[in-house]
Amino acid sequence: MLFLERVFAADPNVPTDVDTSNVDWVSSLSDVFGLIINVVMGVAISLAVIFLGIGGIKYITSQGDPKASEAAKNAITNAVIGLVVAIAAFAIRTLVGNVIGGTSMSIEGVTPGAEVTP
């Protein structure tokens, strides 16, 4: 059974205005996509480093077993390839953005070459 009650929103302790000054750097769809791409690339680079560490631990703990040692070497090789691809993708995105005149994402929302006044 559904019970309905009145809700009074006139509490003086609840702020009525919302300060949106800290989100002005997300002003367009391209800013949102840029933020998503930066997050995905950061996660990819972090995962590659984690998998590199896991592969190193597997190699150290293989105790001379050729099969386990080969599997650990393959894991390290794949992690290094993933790290190189993620860093190359980041570099290519930055290069293409600079060539076509795109803006870079920053917390302050300052575009390259823009005049900054304190």
Buried b (16+ CB within 10 A) or exposed e, 60-76: eebeeeeeeeeebeebb
d(CA 10, CA 108): 35
Residue 21 structure tokens? 């000054």
Q: Does pTM surpass 0.85? A: no
Is the CB of residue 66 less than 8 Å from the CB of residue 59? Answer: no
Helix ranges (DSSP H) in the chain: 29-60, 66-99
Q: Where are the domains of the chain?
A: 29-99
List the pLDDT tens digit at each of the 118 positions of the chain: 455 555 555 556 655 565 555 555 566 677 777 778 888 888 998 999 999 999 999 999 998 899 999 999 999 999 999 999 988 888 888 888 777 765 554 444 445 555 555 5
